[in-house]
Structure 1
Amino acid sequence: MGHMEIAAILLTILFISLAMGLWVSLALLLMAVSGYWLIDNSQWGNITATISWGSIADWKLAPLPMFIWMGEILFRSGLSKNLFDGLSVWLNRIPGKLFHVNTLSCGIFAAVSGSSAATVATVGNITLPQLKRLGYRESFAIGGLGGSGTLGLLIPPSIMMIIYGVAAEVSVSRLFMAGVLPGILLIVLFMGYTAVYCWLNPEAVPQEASENAQDNKVKATLKLLPVVLLIIAVLGSIYTGLASPIEASGLGVLGALVLTRIEGSLDFATFCEGLMAAVRTTAMLLFIIVTASVLTNAMGFIGLPRALANVVADMDLSLGMLIVMLTLLFIVLGCFLDGISVILLTTATILPMVQAAGIDPLWFGIYLVLVVEMSQITPPVGFNLFVLQSLTGRDLLQIARYTLPFFLLMMLAIVLLWFFPEIATWLPTTMTEAQ
């Protein structure tokens, strides 16, 4: 049986499994076992056990549960509401007014969460009811939140970057540094589009001043300080070399616990809720990491990565066309798989081909996270769409239509990243040289 026939069978198994509602991790494991069976490998049980342990017995994954826990703590605190109150008084006089609170709140919360879904849920619970009550166009508020929520994957500390760094053997600290300027670029693009949209559609924004407009700006700014200081402590310790990502993640959890305790929202019940939520999320992610690693190993036995690399090499694509083809591939995969599965499923296969083409793995990591961000708002398996559906009760395809402009803006960011790769590589290079 040829490589293409095996690939077609395995993809059919994947799509049928997902359509039947099987967990993504179990669908990946079923694909792997089927692959071993198709090539008559009787040692698949021993191989699976060995690969499963090796894929998660890595200290580089240690920041993963800690950053998730930090986000869960803040999710249950009153600090997220302070973001809305603190930002609103500064944004009321610019085009788009409080629509920008979505983008900036997501950007700030992403820097202390690392999770896209947690960012959307936390910020959405605060901003959507407030914007609706004040008379802002709900469809644009939903679309803006869905797009801005993807910043949780790009702005460090990012769970996706940790997983890519482990899979591709790229420094997580350098990936964190590389994500800063692309994250700022996305924030600027989102805010610029919001301003233009509201200038062309003035009826989308209430013309009277917000009730927060006259608040004392110093008092409002002080509400932002706790979260901002936590960001500086976590990321600053990594960028200056004072702490590794593992140590910084512990510092982040400790800081979040202290801040929520001072703020008054931390008690034993919320502590346990946050801890158990972090355990559940981490267990789910590790299960996906294990099964994706087993599948990647099965693909290696079958020879699919080598066959795919040969097919692409025979096509004699330019670098630009290679990125276009990979972007289309990742977007299609993102329609059916979550972002972590896309990264783990493709990194081992694609990265050797990308490196052979002369593409920097650091740059490719940021590009890959950007494309995975786009998949967070593509049906039918866009995680942000599911979160927004639970928050608003709207139809999934309707929410996807609201987020479409932000999907296109992320596509523009990828184009800019291609023509100006220094957006991703300048900061880690400069910081490494300074150290």
Structure 2
Amino acid sequence: MDVLLTMGIMLALIILFLGLGVWVFVGLFLVAITSLTLIADFPLDRVGYIARSVIWRSSSAWELSAIPLFIWMGEIIFRTDISDRLFRGLSPFVQWMPGRLLHTNVLGCTLFAAVSGSTSATTATVGKITTTALAERGYNNALAVGSLAGAGSLGLLIPPSIVMIIYGVLAEVSIAKLFAAGIMPGLLVAFLYSSYIIVRCVINPELAPRSEEKLTLGRLLNGLKDLIPIVTLIFLVLGGIYSGIATPSEAAAVGVAATFVLVICMGSFSWDIVIEAAMGAVKTSCMVCSILISAAFLSTAIGYLHIPVELVKIIESLGLSPYALLGILALFYILLGFFLDGISIIVMSLPITLPLILQAGFDPIWYGVFLVLMVELAQMTPPVGFNLFILQGLTGQSIGRVVKAAFPFFLLMCVAVVIVSFFPQVVLFLPNMM
């Protein structure tokens, strides 16, 4: 059967099953089974054997053990006063900048992303503090909400990143190198966001009212003291990985243990927090891993149908330049972002796009960061942009107002995509040093 017709049938099946409200992982399994039986004409017993093999191989990967641990760490932090300390600690250091406390959104999300690995946890944890604090102080609402929508997505890019772990497992590349590759692009995005806030507030100082509080050495020292918990976690998790002492999974376990110690030392420990955080981590981890396993089965089915090989041949026949291919994929991912969450986008598209990218000569580590940036864009696009709905719940505003506030930061993320595309060393400099 013609490869384009096969892809069309599979896409129609995905739209059908997901449109019926079927759970994503069930929908992907049904698409794979239907494709293998009806298109490839495989008998059901062979399909069952393939499914069993893929399920075991996908679910037993050691690297996946880091996912529930990083999620658990973020859940604990979300339920304690570490996030409050983060806001208090950053406040003295941004008072001298145009935009003042608006930068706590960007810097707070950047720091929290370095211990969370989740965009929703980053947005919700920082947002529950800053949305109220900035509104009470008279800061411009659109700039506050928009900067949080953009900066919250850094949870996917700045290591440790759950999405990068998933990409590393599927693409069979070093997760430690992927983590290193995300650092400079993450800082680049944070720099673009803070620069935009500075420019807006220089043009219109009323967007960020002046503070009557004076900047003193005492306030700076108190700020440093409040930042100690989050900085300690960053040092233990990322320091363990990049020093070679621990794997990402081992560093995640150390991070959870260190979080418990910090919570106990700060007097915030309770068994209710432990149980609630554990249940939240279990639910999220089960969702992520079930989608990952079903997507691996779908990827295997796509391989049996020879779609990647045939698609590579078609793309080669078009004579597209590498950057033309990249532009087409970027538009493709932005379109997918209107309908799917980030993890689903990666696991469903990677079997098709990765062979094309490798054939075009792009580095798989670099492509992992590019893909994460595209997924971050998806977090800011309606109707299923998770960051947008989190902010709608935190602020009580209409989704239209949240989307409008986030749009400038969506464009800044697009600028970051262009920069890392034309200057790949922004991504590859640190991994190449490992």
TM range (shorter): over 0.9
* CA distance in 1: counterparts of 2:10 and 2:175, whole angstroms: 32
Contact 1:6-1:38 within 8 A present in 2 as well: no
1:372 Cα deviation (Å)?
Answer: 1.0
1:80 counterpart = 2:118: no
What corresponds to 1:24 in structure 2? 24
What corresponds to 2:399 in structure 1? 396
Residue correspondence of structure 1 range 13-412 to structure 2 within 5 A: 13-39=13-39, 40-42=41-43, 43-206=46-209, 208-209=210-211, 216-412=219-415
1:192 Cα deviation (Å)?
Answer: 0.3
* CA distance in 2: counterparts of 1:265 and 1:20, whole angstroms: 44
Of 297-306 and 158-167, deviating more is: 297-306
* CA distance in 1: counterparts of 2:284 and 2:74, whole angstroms: 11
Return closer, same or farther for 1:303/1:397 CA change in 2, 3 Å cut-off: farther
What corresponds to 1:417 in structure 2? 420
Of 344-353 and 87-96, deviating more is: 344-353
* CA distance in 2: counterparts of 1:382 and 1:51, whole angstroms: 30
Return closer, same or farther for 1:211/1:14 CA change in 2, 3 Å cut-off: farther
1:258 Cα deviation (Å)?
Answer: 0.6
Q: CA RMSD for the aligned pairs?
A: 1.6
1:421 Cα deviation (Å)?
Answer: 1.0
- For structure 2, the residue ranges without an aligned partner over 5 or more in a row are none
1:210 Cα deviation (Å)?
Answer: 5.4
Contact 1:87-1:220 within 8 A present in 2 as well: yes
* CA distance in 2: counterparts of 1:91 and 1:262, whole angstroms: 28
SS of residue paired to 2:100: coil
* CA distance in 1: counterparts of 2:139 and 2:19, whole angstroms: 37
* CA distance in 2: counterparts of 1:414 and 1:4, whole angstroms: 29
* CA distance in 2: counterparts of 1:286 and 1:365, whole angstroms: 19
* CA distance in 2: counterparts of 1:194 and 1:38, whole angstroms: 55
Amino acid at match of 1:112: V
Contact 1:182-1:423 within 8 A present in 2 as well: yes
* CA distance in 2: counterparts of 1:190 and 1:426, whole angstroms: 22
Aligned length: 430
Contact 1:89-1:212 within 8 A present in 2 as well: no
4+ residue runs of structure 1 moved beyond 4 angstroms? Answer: 210-215
Of 211-220 and 320-329, deviating more is: 211-220
Return closer, same or farther for 1:3/1:74 CA change in 2, 3 Å cut-off: same
1:182 Cα deviation (Å)?
Answer: 0.8
* CA distance in 2: counterparts of 1:212 and 1:294, whole angstroms: 59
* CA distance in 2: counterparts of 1:216 and 1:195, whole angstroms: 23
Percent identity, aligned pairs only?
44
SS of residue paired to 2:362: coil
* CA distance in 1: counterparts of 2:30 and 2:203, whole angstroms: 51
* CA distance in 2: counterparts of 1:16 and 1:120, whole angstroms: 32
1:400 Cα deviation (Å)?
Answer: 1.8
- Normalized against structure 1, the TM-score is what? 0.95
- Normalized against structure 2, the TM-score is what? 0.95
* CA distance in 2: counterparts of 1:380 and 1:38, whole angstroms: 33
SS of residue paired to 1:216: helix
1:117 Cα deviation (Å)?
Answer: 0.4
Spell out, residue by residue over 1:341-391, the C-alpha distance to the aligned partner (whole angstroms, 9 max, x if none).
221122222222211221111111111111111111111221111211221
* CA distance in 2: counterparts of 1:325 and 1:75, whole angstroms: 38
* CA distance in 2: counterparts of 1:252 and 1:184, whole angstroms: 22
Return closer, same or farther for 1:107/1:313 CA change in 2, 3 Å cut-off: same
Return closer, same or farther for 1:296/1:228 CA change in 2, 3 Å cut-off: same
1:169 Cα deviation (Å)?
Answer: 0.8
1:147 Cα deviation (Å)?
Answer: 0.3
Spell out, residue by residue over 1:198-220, the C-alpha distance to the aligned partner (whole angstroms, 9 max, x if none).
222323222x3155866722112
Spell out, residue by residue over 1:244-303, the C-alpha distance to the aligned partner (whole angstroms, 9 max, x if none).
112111110011111111111111110111111111111000110011111111112222
Contact 2:302-2:351 within 8 A present in 1 as well: no
* CA distance in 2: counterparts of 1:353 and 1:369, whole angstroms: 17
Return closer, same or farther for 1:393/1:32 CA change in 2, 3 Å cut-off: farther
1:44 Cα deviation (Å)?
Answer: 2.2
* CA distance in 2: counterparts of 1:150 and 1:316, whole angstroms: 35
SS of residue paired to 1:88: helix
* CA distance in 2: counterparts of 1:211 and 1:130, whole angstroms: 15
Contact 1:82-1:224 within 8 A present in 2 as well: yes
Amino acid at match of 1:209: S
* CA distance in 1: counterparts of 2:181 and 2:347, whole angstroms: 20
